[in-house]
Amino acid sequence: MTIKQSKMKNRFKPLVCLLFYAMAGSLFAQAQHYVITGKIEGAEGVSLILQKAIAGKVLYLDTVLVKNGNFKLTGTAEYPELVSLVTSDRKRGISFYLENAEIRIEGRLDSLLNAKVTGSETNDEYFAFQNSLKPYTEKMTSLTNEYKAASSAVMAEVKTLHKDFIMRNPDSFVSAYLLYTIAGILTAEETGSMIEVLDEDVARSPYLTEVKARISTKASVSTGKKAPDFTLNDVNGKPVSLSSKVGRGLLLVDFWAGWCGPCRLENPIVLKVYKEFSNKGFDIIGVSLDRTKGEWVKAINDDKLPWTQVSDLDYFNSTAARLYGVSAIPSNFLLDKNGIIVAVNLRGEALYTKVKQLLDNQ
């Protein structure tokens, strides 16, 4: 090698190094950012919110407006974590892992929960696992339906046993207590007729004083009555009134709680009804009787409930629960577009059948 060639080689070394570091820096920068692109049919003009739940609170990460069915979000993730992309009305959404990668989301607005997410190793693992759960989820749904049917039959027998004892023993103070325990699952008319058969002294029992008050409340929220208005905070502390939700079609006022086993068993059925009819004039407002926000928000996320949720976290002392005479959950009231109660305490397929019937007849 000549002296001239050696000098030229030495001159190129800094340039090669500079080019190498520039390329490495570019690749490093790309690896430290995420790019989420998506195409959602039927979502023109819809605002989407990227959020995550942490320590019982919802943290907003970003928001984007869908244009021509497309959207794009960029940012940096410290580590892969589960997030949700939801519509601004919180009615629809999908959960996925946010990580520094090029993530693609494709689907339809009316079935956003089932949108396809690609472009991320963690999401490939997550959705593969979710798919592996489907046979077990279907089995659990089947077992849940069997349990609900068997449970309903047993509860009907227990109710009959209570009523028979009361009717046979109108002079027993045990009857007063038994009527108190089952009043929550009786209609106002049933409860009133049973009080009438009790002896005068028994009917003055403190247990029945409360039952009589419940009868008055139940009568005010029976079928054909105007649903009383109330205002409670949603999960973000924003006040939401019942009246603000009335007027768009059918509205289900659903009393439940995260600690309530029967409520959690009922949620998949309610969710099924919501998914099928939410774009046809059916909506839900969930009223939680939880006592802690963490328990409440966790149950919403675990059960993937997309509709509006409110609570004052005061258990059965909840303003709305007392207003509607709710002493047992799950409990619900179906309202028409004028806020008139058209059905009470619909369970399982009865809810689906009633909602379909009313919407078909509109």
- Residues 179-198: pLDDT tens digits? 998 887 787 788 889 999 99
244 and 329 inside one domain: yes
Last residue of a domain, one of 196, 220, 244: 220
pLDDT reading at 19 higher than 80? no
**Phi, psi dihedrals of residue 20, rounded to the nearest 5°:** -60, -45
Asked if 91 and 307 touch (Cβ cutoff 8 Å), the reply is yes
pLDDT of residue 361: 85
Separation of CA 103 from chain center = 26
pLDDT reading at 18 higher than 60? no
Instruction: Give 91's pLDDT tier (boundaries 50, 70, 90).
Output: confident
178 and 246 inside one domain: no
pLDDT reading at 12 higher than 70? no
Distance CA 24, CA 170 (A): 88
214 and 242 inside one domain: no
The reply to whether 139 falls in a domain is: no
Q: What is the mean pLDDT of residues 279-297?
A: 94
Query: Which CATH number do you get for residue 269?
Result: 3.40.30.10
The reply to whether 132 falls in a domain is: no
Q: What is the mean pLDDT of residues 128-143?
A: 88
pLDDT of residue 10: 55
243 and 340 inside one domain: yes
Last residue of a domain, one of 73, 99, 119: 119
Last residue of a domain, one of 220, 243, 268: 220
Mean pLDDT check: name the lowest of 24-28, 173-177, 224-228, 310-314.
24-28
240 and 340 inside one domain: yes
pLDDT of residue 210: 83
The reply to whether 148 falls in a domain is: no
323 and 215 inside one domain: no
Query: Which CATH number do you get for residue 109?
Result: 2.60.40.1120
282 and 213 inside one domain: no
The reply to whether 108 falls in a domain is: yes
- The count of structural domains within the chain is 3
pLDDT reading at 35 higher than 70? yes
268 and 303 inside one domain: yes
The reply to whether 143 falls in a domain is: no
The reply to whether 167 falls in a domain is: yes
Q: Which residues form the domain of 160?
A: 154-220
The reply to whether 6 falls in a domain is: no
The reply to whether 27 falls in a domain is: no
Mention every residue, 6+ apart, whose C-beta is less than 8 A from residue 249.
280, 281, 282, 283, 337, 359, 362
DSSP code string of 55-117:
TTEEEEEEEEE-BTTEEEEEE--SS-EEEEEEETTSS-EEEEEE-SSEEEEEEEGGGGGG-EE
pLDDT of residue 161: 95
Classified as helix, coil or strand, 326 is coil
